[in-house]
Structure 1
Amino acid sequence: MNPQQRIDELTGRLNYLNQRYYQDAVSEISDEEFDQLLRELSDLERQHPELKHKDSPTQHVGGTISKEFPTVSHRYPMLSLSNTYSDEEILDWEERIRKAIPEETVEYICEQKFDGISLSIRYENGQLTMGITRGDGTRGDDITHNIKTLRTLPHRIEAEDLPPVFEVRGEGFMPLISFNRLNQERLDIGEEPLMNPRNAAAGTFKLQDSGEVSRRRLDCYLYSFLSDREIFQTHEESILALQRWGFNVSPTWKKCASIEEVIAYIREWETKRFDLPLNTDGIVVKVNSFAQQRELGFTAKSPRWAIAYKYKAQSVETTLRSVSYQVGRTGAVTPVANLEPVLLAGTIVKRASLHNANEIGRLGIRLGDYVFVEKGGEIIPKITGVNLDRRPEETEEIHYPETCPVCGTPLVQPEGEVARYCPNDKGCPPQIKGKLEHFIQRKAMNLDSLGEGKIELLYDKGLVTNPADFYDLTYEQLFGLEKVITDPETGKSKKIGFREKTTQAILNAIEVSKTVPFERVLFAIGIRYVGETVAQKLARYFKTIDAIRQAGVEELTNVPEIGGRIAQSVVEFFSAAENQELVARLQSAGLQLTLGEEAIIEQLSEKLSGKTLLYTGTFRSFEREELERLIEAHGGKLLSGVSGKLNFLIVGEKPGSSKVDKARKLNVAMISEDEFLNLIG
């Protein structure tokens, strides 16, 4: 391949990978592989400058601009850092610094390289005024209303030494506890879990609903200060000032007097980083003195005074023994790789998710292959590739089953989805047991006493096959039941059962569950796509299970944040005779299927009675959730989109152009924040 062809190929490939990473939050290859390709392209462009593309990825930061948010130019460019993967490259970087400023003593600041999304946040007169994504380095997306949901980020700062205008930069991330909770919620509504916290954070910051962003509990560590006039002499001084002003600065940073101390810091955190509440993938090293930073300057896309040391992903090689298929509560059939046990990041890994048939095909994996396993996001083991050089002569092609591996029902694959499903939701044992386990979980009916294999025992004995059966159980049926279960991980067996104390505790818990609020009961019955938040919105909008049951798709989509897919799922659920019977039995058992008085918003007036409203933009007087409650408190109905049924569109600052344009076309009345306040008195 001649230089022109290779430059064309590398440019296209790297621009595509940048788009996938920054815009779609998907990492198709490792950072190290990406950097190798980027270095190769950079070397070729240096040898053949006349062949360089105008859109070469060597000349710009990898991000792109979203069409869903206003675009804002950065006051100060947001550059990326050069990456290195060895001590030798760190020493080479230090040698270049020594040559540029040979007579000076150089100090360094070491910081964790957090795995999230880069943010720039502007303050004017101590007030947070704007939050912007990195974008392409010169322009980014204005996601201010999402930035304001960060609980550790001060909205206003009062300090004597504040400049009138300044920016702070940091990494927005999803804490591991929030990531695990979000994935559990996705499993609860029948969706595939997210791959890693970085992708989850990137996707969340780009959501249009700031209420949902707030619910996911993102966070941000700040690590940089910028202003038009120089206030500090060193990076260390600026970090200490950020801490003093109330910003969330990670306590893991350290000042180092020599490059040897830098390397010692890198070694120290190679394993210690796994104890942090978020993912990191390396160390950032910066020259401490701002004067020296200015002297060292920048390349086209990176500062010469900073570098990122990237830890190699902890990867091991092992053999793929077999593939088994798990059937979830919603019928999704997920392939799981069964591996020759191998030590990885301090734990023995025996299994790894293969996600779906598309992933099996993409990897080109076969039974008996030697495969590379990493901990995706340092949490979930995943197969990243196949060692084709070691492929045995006798390997076996993986054939994704055409029928359910448990009940034998032919699988279906809905249009637009990668997962394959068993449609036998009324007769497939793992689906039934999954629904029962969903019903008893803490966020639903909170029947904790029924954990540890007791659901399976009750199902095997034919005592519980749907959630309403729990409320027919008697002491005589339960007492004395027992079963031996074996832990598949350890092979150890133990006996579970219903002794006197356990039996009474379970019957008491079942009785107490009759007081669980309506929204949790609605979540517990397991309508697909109706998670905890959606159940709450439906319960508060319709007030009773009967009103939801009678609602059509159009009425359901009038509920804020309820789209067509959720609405269709709700309608299909309540149209099934067996589900109607389930609801009737739960009503007879005395469960709360009407919104309680404490959950109903206090009515302040009827000034919006019979009126439908929607809002767009941000507001001075209240957050979005407050505005929604105000509309309801004055008798109004909140719609989820602009339509001919809409009476008023409340237009705040930086409104969405699509809503405003549609409102104009439909002659919908548009009112300002002040006009809305006048409307409700």
Structure 2
Amino acid sequence: MAAQEKRAAARAEELARTLTAHNHAYYVDDNPTVSDAEYDGLLRELQKIEAENPELVTPDSPTQRVGAPPSERFEAVDHATPMLSLGNSFDDDELAEFDRRARAAVDGKALAYCAEPKFDGTALNLRFERGVLRMATTRGDGVTGENITPNARTIRNLPLRLATDTPPDFIEIRGEVVLARSRFNELNTRLEKDGQKPFVNPRNAAAGSLRQLDSRITATRPLAFMAYGIGRVDGVELPGSLLDQLTQLADWGFAISAYVQRVDGLEGCTAYYAAMAERRAELDIEIDGCVFKVDDAATRSELGFVARAPRWAIARKFPAEETTTRLNSVEFQVGRTGALTPVAKLEPVFVGGVTVSNATLHNMDEIARKDIRIGDRVVVRRAGDVIPEVKEVAERGESATVIELPAACPVCGSHVERVEGEAVARCTGGLVCAAQRREALKHFASRRALDIEGLGDRQIEQFVDEELLESPADIFSLKAHREALVERDGYGEKSVTNLLASIEASKQTTLERFIFALGIREVGETMARDLARHFGTLDALRAEAQAYMQRLASAQEQEPDNAAARARIMTAEGLQAVPGVGSRVAACIADFFDEPRNVDVIAALVEAGVHWPTVDVDQSPQPLAGQTFVLTGSMESLTRDEAGARLEALGARVTSSVSKKTDYVVVGEGPGSKRDKAEKLGVTLLDEAAFVALLAEHGDA
């Protein structure tokens, strides 16, 4: 290594150590040691060195916290040890029963517990190998989470390398991603100033920020990580005491609660709970209870687990604050996916520290179950101090009226559907409803739909706000606004020319892309492809959707009170003859085409010049029909997209996740956790040679 390169490497290492120390002082100790300007100068120097010497960039470099380009999706990853849930207790008796069961393992002796606040955020699992952060995953279902490593790297108080010279070979560190109340208010102020929708509460803000596809957005959110536990660990002996384990995490550079402590017996738990309940309102981080864990390792081992929760831990939740008031009326709000949510308009009442005049009623099933009516006096609570909800009826009103689901969308007038067996009702005007407009347009223009380059989320948001776009068909009229577009900030002659050229090019598409672009609920890329191949034309698909509605009406007339009989009448005909289309998907397709406004938009798109070739409908049996494949890793002889296309040409279904229904997992170089999951489930694995041989065997050489 040349002398200059050695100096650069030494300086980069020194800067990384210095910046890491400053980060810890600022974000963990809340005691900054340098000014913002000095910190920024050091960071810029490191960025310059790494730009000139890319080989010096390390996974734990402070420069890696700025975020990466958008990801299309999150990879499913199995936790090395499951992230277990906690049992809950809601009163002193339930906490006392937990203590009694725990003491039974030690002949009734009093136990010491590790007590800590229960943060109201979103759980995160960190995987460190030889002291360096290698992966961060969401809790998911407790066994499998989503790989969100680029997003986690942007959390300023989260160490990218453990502060020790003797790290474990492997360790999982668990904790909660939170957003302090003060930072939450600052974030919402900034969002509102930028014309964006503010978050409802810190927990939602933390969860939404952590699961951004573009980690550069996550990097702008003031998230914090609070460690609370350890999963699998290899290569180091941890203390048996949970409190000592948390102290170890703090020594390694993690933030832990300032209020964690060891308490003795049930009395200690009860006193700790009372103290935290009193202190709760003054904390900057929201908590919704306390967690008590048996501190001693031997006792924890003796107690073991039940179902998916440890017997040695429990969460003592704070009670929701409740009061009563009058339900004056009900309004139905339409979400971005078309879901209608009934909202109670209440006589204003003070509860949970705020005045509440609106509360959620969840859905029509909940309204029916609780028998809530307009004019009733109802019990209102702020569950978890966050979302006001109507809990139950306190007193029936003298002239109470039944709450009815509107037949038409309150935003656009399209008819409202409610698929049998589902609690949620939805507006079917996906292409025309103002409440769904932004998401529908973003989906329509996305890469796997009509793939309109230059018409991204930001541009669509602007065009909708300025009323240039109301439906997908309006995209093809943007050329009429060329002069106005050129004059916009951030635009110019070249960029507008490129955008309009991309819009023009998108008119030539395929039937499966067009079906996918329509945004029909439950119809993804694979389903759109199967529908295109089965029906060949959009007219044929629409005709079958109309026929489905007629058969459904007939079935409901024949069997008004027998859902199973109605399902038998509908099965394996028309739409449900397409592989993978069940009653739920068929109903979504039929409802979409049954809405005249959607049909009008499709006609406008065709009139604007959007076209596609007719698909040859191959009725001959395909050799891999009915078989499901998952692809993981990279292959030398063909790309993953090419492999998927060949499989689909032979009738196979290609999905992104492994399940018991998967027939084969094709394993290339550098496979992820999908291979491990396939092995656990006993799914057949194919290497590249075996896969190519399989294709050749079935006529795809």
TM-score (normalizing by structure 2): 0.48
TM-score (normalizing by structure 1): 0.49
